[in-house]
Structures are given as C-alpha cells and as structure tokens.
Amino acid sequence: MTLFRATVIDTPGDPFSVDPAGALSADQDGGLLVRDGIIVHRGSFGTLRTKFPDEPVTELRGGLLLPGFVDTHVHYPQLRAIGGLGMPLLDWLDRCALPEESKFADAGYAKIVAGEFLDGLIASGTTTALVFGAHFAAAMHELFTAAADRQLNITAGLVLSDRILRPDLFCTVEQGRSESQALIDRWHGGGRLRYAVTPRFSLSTTNQLLAVCGDLMRANKDVFFTSHINENLAEVATVAELFPESRDYLDTYHRHGLVNARSVYAHNVHASDKELALMGETGAWAAHCPTSNASLGSGLFPLRRHVEHGVGVSLGSDVGGGTGLFLLKEGLQAYFMQQLLGADGLPLTSVHLLYLATRAGARALGLADRVGDFAIGKEFDAVWLRPASGSPYSINLAHAVDATDALARTFALATSADVAGVWLKGDRVGAGR
Ligand SMILES: [Zn+2]
C-alpha cells in the first residue's frame, strides 16, 4: 500500500443540485491510502499515519492533488490540427480538420499520432476520455492498442459518415456495421476500454447509416453513443433541410434509438426546449466545449437551460476545434461564457468548475462508481498540480484563504506546465517533474 500526502480536493457531490460548498471535499494536509490502485482510506494525513505507521509515504505537498480530469469530447485525429483560427465550423472542417483526418487511412501515421494524442492527454492530467475516433478501422485499432498500453480509461469508436464530407472519409452502410462490430468484439470491455458508436453528425450521415448505429446500440447492450449536435447555426439549418421528416436536430438521432443515458452529445449550443426536455427525460448528456465554441464563433452555451431541464453537462476540450487538451482551461472558458451571458448565464463557482472537469464527466460516461473523485473504493486516478516556485500561480495558491479560493486561483492560472504528476489506477505515469 502507499499513503499519499497532499492537499486533497475533490467534488463528491453535485454543485448543480446542492449548495456548492457541500459538494466539495478538501483536506489541507490530507492522506489517501491506496492498495492495488484502489483508495482504501481517506482522511487527514496525521490520522492515517498513526493508523498505518509502516506504509510508505509519497509526499505531494506544495500544490493540489485533484482527481484525474475527464474529457468527454476530444478528437484523436485532430491532435495535429489545433490552432486553425478564423473560420466557422463548416469551413474549418473542410480546410483544417478533414484533410488531416484523411491521413489516418495510413495505419502507420495513425499509430504515431495515437501515441502523441494519449501522451498529450496524460501530460494534461486527463485520465479518462470519450474520444471521437478516426474514419478508418485500422486507425482505431492503433488508438485502442496504445490506450491499453497506457491503462487510460478510454471510450471511443470508429467515426461513420456516408455523405457531404470528402469521399475518402465515407464508409458504406455494411462497412459501417461490420467494422464497428469487429472493433466492439475486439476492444469493448477489455481493461479500461469501451466502445462508443460514433456517427460524425447527422449532417454527414444518412438515415440508413444512422439506423445501423441504432442496431449496433441494441445488439451491444452496454456500448456508448456519441456525436455532434446544434453546434453552429449553418449546420443546424442544413440538418433541417436534409431531414424534413424530423422535428429538430435531436430527432434525427432519436428516431434511431440514439438518445438515452449512454449518449453524450457534443456542443448543443443552439438547443431548443423540446430537445432539452427529451435529453432530460432520457438521461442523455451534453459535452460542453467552450474554447471550441468561442474559437469557431459557434455561440454561448445555454448552461442554465440545460440544468433547468435536468440535462447533465460535462466538459470537452474538442481538440482540434478547441485550443488544447488541458481541461482546466475549458473550465475557465466555461466560466467566462456564463459571465458573458449576463442574466441568461449560470454563474459558476470554482467548485462547479472542478465538478465539471472531473465527476460530471465520470457520470456522463457511467464511470462514477470507479473514477471522478477520491471516495473510498474508487480507482486512484489523480493529477498533482505543483506550480513553479515564485510563479504567479504559486504566489496566489500560497495566499488562498480556503479550498474554494485555491481552486478559483488554480482555474485562473494553472497550465499543463504545472502538472507535476499523474496516476492511473495507482501507478505514476508520464515524465512528471
Ligand atoms: Zn467535435
């Protein structure tokens, strides 16, 4: 066993349904006893040290120990396409994202980027992710293989499209079915890996192929589903033209049985009340991707309306539309957006932000019984933020008056350069410093 000594902060509660202060748990000089990757005791370091005097201690003082971050929308084949500024969504896809994604037809290329991508997640403190995959099955094998090697908690799937995008990204309906099923059979439920059925968005997916997605969900009971929705007004208008029989964008998925508690929809910036009501009733989640929404000019996310309709919201970096893999930056940008919405916004505390970056994502992915906080019985996935001595972050952390204040200063100032250590199921991974 190992006794970790640190300033330990997590959000075992849900600050959107209880007083934020009650959702937080914090120990300034805390202890976590970890055996075989599982947290078996938690408390003050002094108490645990007295109880377990012989266990080796890992000292992680001078910073914060947080649960590993959970990114619920991030594109593996866009790792090398970050920073395409100045374009709205559909132009950005054509000119920036899709040419890069075509390169994943080459499994050798995919293998290299899969490693870069997953190591990038770890270096950013992300230990669990719902990954939007590539359009090529061999590239998905490379991603799953690399994720298994690293013990990351990854849910991902082959991306399916059969129209409007560049043709080299298309699959046939039968190919979509057979290749997805083969990947599910090979990878789903193995170790920390799971499969997500993944049509790119209904704009680029015919009803025939969406029906295959529904078949896959029914045939494989516990696989997940993810796609895009209501990101950009031009996209929403095109989907309305392509699906005259559907009452709204969400209905293009709902008709095929794709809206349920195992669905995570990215963006949902321009959601109608009807769509939100259906998501709330069915338990579908929204992955909010604030730097992407700001960068592509997609819009200001209506968080308050999601919460009022009982829709769970988690965070996504949406790399490469987003501007990096570090999820605390997404938390800060989410806070900015709600401030800019004025009376329509939902003012966020630092407790909300930590919840969004950790436990909310674990709940969205059905993993809240395993990761997302430091409760006893959970797997020890953790990130240690330790600012460089003398840096503005370090100075602010030293002057924080309590855990909420320390978190607020962390969201304002921390970067991935402050990630000093990452643990996956109790094992330290990555270089650290
Ligand atoms: Zn996306």
Beta strands in 11-169 (DSSP E): 25-35, 38-44, 57-67, 69-75, 126-132, 153-157, 159-160
Distance 27 CA to ligand 1 centre (A): 36
Distance 17 CA to ligand 1 centre (A): 28
Distance 388 CA to ligand 1 centre (A): 33
d(CA 267, CA 264): 10
Distance 327 CA to ligand 1 centre (A): 15
Peptide bond into 320 cis (omega under 30): yes
| Placement of tokens 């129209």 in the chain | 163
Identify whether the C-beta of residue 107 lies closer than 8 Å to the C-beta of residue 264. no
Q: Which residues pair with 32 in a beta bridge?
A: 4, 42
Distance 274 CA to ligand 1 centre (A): 23
Identify the pLDDT of residue 431.
59
d(CA 59, CA 82): 36
Distance 204 CA to ligand 1 centre (A): 13
Domains of the chain: 2-68+371-429 (2.30.40.10), 69-340 (3.20.20.140)
Distance 129 CA to ligand 1 centre (A): 13
Identify the pLDDT of residue 21.
86
Distance 325 CA to ligand 1 centre (A): 13
Distance 152 CA to ligand 1 centre (A): 20
d(CA 166, CA 40): 51
Distance 199 CA to ligand 1 centre (A): 11
d(CA 178, CA 185): 10
Please count the other Cβ atoms lying within 10 Å of the Cβ belonging to residue 145: 15
Q: 30-63: per-residue pLDDT in tens?
A: 999 999 999 999 999 999 999 999 999 999 999 9
Q: 211-252: per-residue pLDDT in tens?
A: 999 999 999 989 999 999 999 999 999 999 999 999 999 999
Q: Which residues pair with 429 in a beta bridge?
A: 422
For the chain, residues with pLDDT lower than 50 are: none
Using a cut of 0.75, tell me whether the model's pTM lies above it. Answer: yes
Structure tokens at 339: 């401030």
Identify which of 382, 227, 152, 136 has the alpha carbon closest to the alpha carbon of residue 144: 152
Phi then psi dihedrals of residue 394, to 5 deg: -60, -45
Give CA separation, 221 vs 133, 195, 262, in Å: 20, 11, 10
Report the chain's mean pLDDT, rounded to a whole number: 97
